[in-house]
Amino acid sequence: MTALRGQPGSVPLKISIVCLTLAIACGTLFSLATGGRTDVGLADIFRPDGLARTVLFDIRMPRTCAAALLGVNLGMAGLVLQAITRNPLASPAILGINQGAALGLTLGVVLPNTIDLPLDFYALTGALTAGVVTFAISGGFGGKIDSLRLVLGGVAVGAFSYAMVRFTYTLDDDIARSVIRWTVGDITDIRWSETKRLAVWAVPGFLASLVMAQRFNLMALGQASARGLGADPRITLLLGTVVAAALAGASVTVAGPIAFAGLIVPHLAKFLFGGDHRVLVPTTALLGAALMLVADGLSKTLTAPIEAPIGVVAALMGAPWFLWHTIFARDVS
Amino acid sequence: MRHASSTRLIWTLLGLTFAAIAVFLWSLAAGAVRIPITTIINTLFDLDGPKQGFIINKSRLPRSLLAFCTGSSLALSGAIVQALLRNPLASPKIIGINSGAALGVLLTFIFAPTLDLNWLPVVAACGGILAAAAIFSVAEFAPVSPARLALVGIAIGMACDAAVDFILATSELYEVSAPLVWMTGSLWSRGWAHLNAVWPLLVGLSAITLLYSYRLDLIRLGTAQATSLGLNVRRERLALLALATLLAAISVSVVGVLGFVGLMAPHIARQMVGGTHRGLLPVAMLVGAILAMVADAAGRALFAPLEVSAGILTAMFGAPFFVFLLLSSFPSPIQ
């Protein structure tokens, strides 16, 4: 198990928290300093008024906050999924949860007059349905999760949801116009209202994960041991699915399905801080925020003046990692 | 016993051929303009009476023929890959060949838009072969279980998809609108030029594969048995893999990612005539051709005048089929 191979405490926790906070600070500055207007820089924060201030406070800052929150959400969702499936390849994108949320969201947009509910609700329902279907395919609710079935089932659920999403785009030209940038994960147009929507889900999701950290630790011992110690693995699975679906669904509503961030952040956290989820939950959140802030800065600078959407940057960072892990990790299947 | 299965094979082939012809005619009739069957026959055989020369000859006939060619090629490719990996869940899409080919074609769309259409299959084949080579070099140099191999294929496919997304998102919209339609697996605006570019290659490769069919049976027995029966397993596997890759990649180069046809067709064929490749391959080809033609024509007819990409329909029906396979191969599809 990767989860227990690293030595907890090999890096003193206080130092690592300080390092992470520093990384977040650097990432924030990087993300704030870059953008379409190259003449606006960090020094303009202290300027009392004018265009530069508007650019910083109303355009760049909500986007920077959103990037950090997305990192928290997706990192937590990945960590929770990896813990409850005991599978290092689990993540919202690979298990089809992101795509399910996208499908729910698209249905919510296409069928606006049927039921008047906020879009978040549709995305969450889609994410939850996709997660439950994938777990049902892998045999999770009957007892033992089959590792390979989990991944292949997730790929199938994802492919199906995505086909449905593309199908609805075919029906409506106006939605089709925004399809590319939305499906690859784009946060260019984010303002404070979207950022608030992310935060509303990030905080309870994080707290719930923190409360469940001990359950996740018991899951790592194996389903039988977890049951013996009084934590029914099926309940953990169900609660974890709800938390992960809420976090991933909220991210998808705001930024589209961002792949791979949910996969690599928990791995990096486990590599650095060991396998205790009570430590992992806060550190994964911090690490996710730091990583997505850097990805946001890169997305603005890498191919300037055209922006590479943040989801694409995350995918380019994450795909090699996934490949490396499937080939060399010992604990797959 | 042998006699009985031969009779069954012949009847199946006959029935499928008739079904394919019927679907072919229906695909010519279906679309925004519905054309009665007598008009179609008049046009095809140049008889007297009402004709619809423009729609049929310019648009629907090449599309249906292209669907026939690519559907059967994808099915053949899927049958080979499933036999090679001894894995019922394998398909060109799952092991990343399609995504590699898509990446290759997209790169040429962007960097060499003036390239002649005839080079498209070559480019797609290069991309597909690179992806397949990456997957199988992993299998050769770091021996892994078939299960791990499927995961490596998914990973390579995802890496290619990430690159595709990167290109799509960072280029101008007018540049990518054509590739975007193509990416979803559509035969929209495909004409005689595309058909002529690929059909000689696909027919040739299919013929070679059919001649190879008995070796697939030997390989399915396992490496040890096949070797003891006098087969150079390593060389044959390589040759067959090259065939499968070329078939899938060339198909992808003209119709885009027509997912799950390569997965479904061999399974349906196996239900009909069993696992012997001499019969399985031609049946799978016909089934694949029928699936592709139905997907294309239905996509055209369902919401006419809007068109739904064939790839969307195959994924909508293929993904649940895949899940069904996953569930029915208990306890675990591959060990």
Contact map slice: A 170-199 vs B, CB within 8 A = 170-171, 179-181, 184, 186
Hey, where are the domains in chain B?
Answer: 2-328
Chain B: closest CA distance from residue A7 (Å)? 27
Distance CA B173, CA B150 (A): 34
Please name the member of B161, B315, B326 whose beta carbon is closest to the beta carbon of A163: B315
In the structure encoding, which two tokens stand for residue B250, read together? 């060339």
Residue B259 tokens read as: 């997912």
Whole-angstrom CA distances from B244 to A331, B78, B125 are 31, 7, 11
Residues of A whose CB is below 8 A from B259? 159, 163
The residue assigned the tokens 């799952």 is B94
Question: Chain A contacts of B327, Cβ < 8 Å?
Answer: 137
- More confident position, B65 or A317: B65
Q: Between chains, do B326 and A156 touch, taking CB under 8 Å as contact?
A: yes
Spatial neighbors of B79 by CB under 8 A, at least 6 apart, are B216, B265, B266, B269, B277, B280, B281, B284
Residue B228 has pLDDT above 70, yes or no: yes
Query: Mutation test of the interface with chain B: which of A132, A323, A324, choosing the one with the most B Cβ atoms within 10 A?
Result: A323
Contact: B319, A163; criterion CB under 8 Å: yes
- On whether residue A333 sits in a domain, the answer given is no
Is the Cβ of A141 closer than 8 Å to some Cβ of chain B? Answer: no
Cα(B82)–Cα(A248) distance, rounded to whole angstroms? Answer: 34
Q: A317-326, B52-61, B326-335 — which is least confidently predicted?
A: B326-335
Residue A162 domain-assigned (yes or no): yes
Q: Could you tell me where the DSSP H helices lie in chain B?
A: 2-29, 37-45, 53, 61-85, 97-111, 120-141, 146-170, 173-183, 192-211, 213-220, 223-228, 233-255, 261-273, 277-301, 310-328
Contact across the interface for A326 and B152, Cβ inside 8 Å: yes
Contact of A38 with chain B, judged by CB distance below 8 Å, is answered with no
Interval A198-222 mean pLDDT: 88
Best residue in B130, B166, B188 to probe A by mutation, most A CBs within 10 Å? B166
The amino acid sitting at A78 is G
Q: How far apart are CA A138 and CA A151, in angstroms?
A: 8
Of the pLDDT bands very low, low, confident and very high (cuts 50, 70, 90), residue B335 is very low
Cβ contact, residue pair A312, B170, below 8 Å: yes
Please state, in angstroms and rounded to a whole number, the distance separating the CA atoms of residues A171 and A109: 12
In angstroms, the CA A151 to CA A157 distance is 10
- Contact between residue A69 and residue A206 where contact means Cβ atoms under 8 Å apart: no
Contact A332 B151 (CB under 8 A): yes
Question: Among A167, A320, A328, whose Cβ lies nearest the Cβ of B312?
Answer: A167
Q: With CA atoms as reference, report the closest residue to B280 among B261, B293, B294, B267.
A: B267
Instruction: Dig out the tokens for A205 from the structure.
Output: 């999701």
Q: Which residues in B207-216 are b (16+ Cβ under 10 Å) and which e?
A: eebeebbebb
User: What does the alpha-carbon distance between residue A51 and residue B78 come to, in Å, rounded to a whole number?
Assistant: 59
Q: Is the pLDDT of residue B173 over 80?
A: no
- Minimal Cα–Cα distance from B169 to chain A, Å? 6
Rounded to a whole number, what is the distance in Å from the CA of B157 to chain A's nearest CA? Answer: 9
Is the distance from CB of B160 to CB of B83 less than 8 angstroms?
Answer: no
Q: What is the pLDDT of residue B77?
A: 92
Minimal CA–CA distance to A186: which of A100, A36, A307?
Answer: A307
Of B155, B320, B327, the CB nearest to A160: B320
Let me know if residue A102 belongs to a domain. yes
Shortest Cα distance, chain B CAs vs residue A308, angstroms? 5
With an 8 Å Cβ cutoff, are B320 and A312 in contact?
A: no
* DSSP state string for A142-160: TSPPPHHHHHHHHHHHHHH
A148 touching B (Cβ < 8 Å): yes
Q: Rounded CA gap, B152 and B193, in Å?
A: 36
Share of chain A above pLDDT 90, in %: 11
Tell whether the model's pLDDT for residue A226 goes beyond 80.
Answer: no
- B156 and A323: CB-CB below 8 Å? yes
Instruction: Quote the CA–CA distance of A165 and A257 in Å, as a whole number.
Output: 12
Greater confidence (B201 vs A13) lies with: B201
Contact B73, B247 (CB under 8 A): yes
Q: What is the dihedral of CA A73, A78, A83, A86, to 10 degrees?
A: 170
Q: Angle A173-B165-A289 (CA atoms, 0-180°, nearest 5)?
A: 110
Of the ranges A201-205, B94-98, B143-147, B257-261, the best mean pLDDT one: A201-205
Owning domain of residue A31 = 2-328
The angle formed by the CA atoms of residues B326, B330 and B334, to the nearest 5 degrees, is: 70
Q: B89 vs A152: CB contact, 8 Å cut-off? A: yes
Q: Tokens 């479904």 identify what position?
A: B264
Start-to-end C-alpha separation, chain B: 32
Q: For residue B49, report the phi and psi dihedrals to the nearest 5 degrees.
A: 115, -175
> The CATH number of the domain where A207 resides is what?
1.10.3470.10
CATH code: domain B2-328 is 1.10.3470.10
pLDDT for position B1: 40
B152 vs A157, A171, A327: nearest CB: A327
Q: Taking residues B256-276, report their average pLDDT.
A: 84
Chain A residues in contact with B332 by the CB 8 A cut-off are: 146, 148-149
Lowest mean pLDDT among A179-188, B43-52, B60-69, B193-202: A179-188
| Percent above pLDDT 70 for chain A | 82
Please indicate whether residue A3 or residue A118 has the higher confidence score (pLDDT).
A118
Q: Reduced to 3 states, what is the DSSP secondary structure of residue B212?
A: coil
Supply the pTM of this predicted model.
0.79
How would residue B54 be classed by pLDDT, with cut points 50, 70 and 90? confident
How many C-beta atoms lie closer than 10 Å to residue A4's C-beta?
14
Q: Which amino acid is at A76?
A: M
Q: What is the pLDDT of residue A333?
A: 40
Task: Write down the pLDDT at residue A39.
Answer: 67
| Number of domains forming the structure of chain A | 1
Q: How far apart are CA B49 and CA B42, in angstroms?
A: 6
Output the pLDDT for position B212: 83
Q: What is the mean pLDDT of residues B183-193?
A: 73
- Report how far Cα A60 is from the mean position of its chain's Cα atoms: 21
Amino acid at A1: M
Q: Do A332 and B169 touch (CB under 8 A)?
A: no
Distance from CA of B114 to the nearest CA of A (A): 24
- Judge contact between A70 and A254, C-beta under 8 A: yes
Alpha carbons within 13 A on the beta-carbon side of A266: 28
A79: pLDDT confidence band, cut at 50, 70 and 90?
very high
Structural contact between residues A83 and A277, judged by C-beta atoms closer than 8 angstroms: yes
Both structure tokens of B255? 């119709």
Q: Pull the structure tokens for residue A65.
A: 């906050």
Residues 6+ apart with CB under 8 A from A171: A110, B303, B306
Of A152, A259, A323, the CB nearest to B326: A152
Least Cα distance to B131 among B76, B167, B169, B92 occurs for B92
Chain A residues 281-320 within an 8 A CB cutoff of chain B: 303, 306-309, 311-312, 315-316, 318-320
Q: Which of residues 198-257 of A touch B (CB under 8 A)?
A: none
